[in-house]
Homo-oligomer: A and B are copies of this chain.
Amino acid sequence: MARIVQKFGGTSVADIDRIRSVAKRIKCYADAGNEVVVVVSAMAGVTNQLIGWTSEISKLHVAPEYDVVVASGEQVTSGLLSIALHDLGVDARSWLGWQIPFRTDGVHGTARISQIETTEIEQRLKQGHVAVIPGFQGVGPNNRVTTLGRGGSDTSAVALAAALCADRCDIYTDVDGVYTTDPRIVAKARKIERITYEEMLEMASQGAKVLQTRAVALAMRHGVRLQVLSSFSDAPGTLVVKEDEIVEQQIVSGIAYSPDEAKITLRRVKDRPGVAGAIFGSLADAAINVDMIVQNVTEDGETTDLTFTVSRVDLDRTTSVLDDLRGDLGFSDFLADPTVAKVSVVGVGMRSQPGVAKTMFQTLADRGINIQVISTSEIKVSVLIASDYTELAVRALHTAYGLDSQTAGMT
């Protein structure tokens, strides 16, 4: 017997039939004597429709009312799933965010969770009831509805699992686990059985969009065992766990890529203290997330070239911030290149194993792929390349690190 939080994403509850089949899956777990808490997303498409209405009605973003509108999607699923569970003879009830209460800091649209009251839910679990909870929503200090931001249902599930000291948090989605890389571009990609939180974080933030980065970070902080699996099959999924739960660690666990990058180079920036702070401070104030940063000294020794990357969607806003700064900071000009991609190799094993970066650079060089920027962390090496070479690079690295599946795959 275990206490399990199960989270079902939008495609898993896309329509009435899917919700019924999710109910059957939950019943199996409950019948086996487990205590089950279910977190649901809105039915696929519903959130987009609700968001569409809010932006159709006004160009203003009235954040508290936006939250009132979009939070309704998960509310509907939680009621419908509870009905479907009753239909199977399972004692279930929904708790909306304000009923739990699921408290947040009150920042509409991107609220952070502050506290979850679990007394009543735990009593019900002990009586054998199933608790059904809409993800993505909570209440702020002023008792208004707040949402956690896109994909926040993963975060809701992990936070509940932590608050309830659950044995596991299962994240059901439309893929059956985390792969060594994107199977759409590498047919020989393999499902990973176990992966560490740190690796998962790098994979998630590097573009493997199976799990929300925020949810993984929260799981790591609270030691919540995560499982990613498909609600469309009975195949085992991928477990996200602590490093010591993984017996035989690969050196490289996966290859991630992020195709939607843009590179900015500031030319002849005055090389004096405070310049970088001013530039990146202004970008941060504009809520633009800067990723890789490289600085080179130029020949004259008095100015420097500064290169960094942002998400491609932020490029226009970035150039407009830089235009405003040009006078103050006295850089001669800047170049923006939206045709770049980031490719990363990720693995906790590389801590103890030198030569990982070398293999990467050699493999790319052998294919004639030029590396524009390099950045590294303890467990990953990322390079920026021309985006045309993305698939080629990912496939070559997947083979070079011995990740290709021996059994499946097309040739």
Contact = CB atoms under 8 A, between A and B. Distances in A.
A223 interface: no
A284 B86 CA distance: 28
A311 interface: no
Interface size class of A (residues with CB under 8 A): 35 or more
A233 to B, nearest CB: 23
Contact of A56 (B16, B53, B57): B16
A68 B137 CA distance: 15
A151 interface: no
A93 interface: yes
Contact of A76 (B69, B86, B99): B69
Nearest to A92: B65
Interface stretch (A77-85, A239-247, A335-343, A400-408): A77-85
A44 to B, nearest CB: 14
Interface string A58-85: 1110101111110110011011101110
A27 interface: no
A27 to B, nearest CB: 13
A19 interface: yes
B93 A64 contact: yes
A57 to B, nearest CB: 5
A20 interface: yes
A366 to B, nearest CB: 56
A96 interface: yes
Given A16-B57, A57-B16, A143-B99, A66 B87 contact: no
A79 B83 contact: no
Contacts of A62: 82-83, 86
Given A58-B86, A86-B60, A143-B99, A68 B79 contact: yes
A91 to B, nearest CB: 11
B78 A75 contact: no
Contacts of A60: 83, 86-87
B16 A53 contact: yes
A342 to B, nearest CB: 37
Contacts of A369: none
Contacts of A231: none
A50 interface: yes
15 contacts: A16-B53, A20-B57, A53-B76, A53-B80, A57-B83, A57-B84, A60-B83, A62-B82, A65-B94, A66-B79, A68-B75, A68-B79, A69-B75, A72-B76, A98-B98
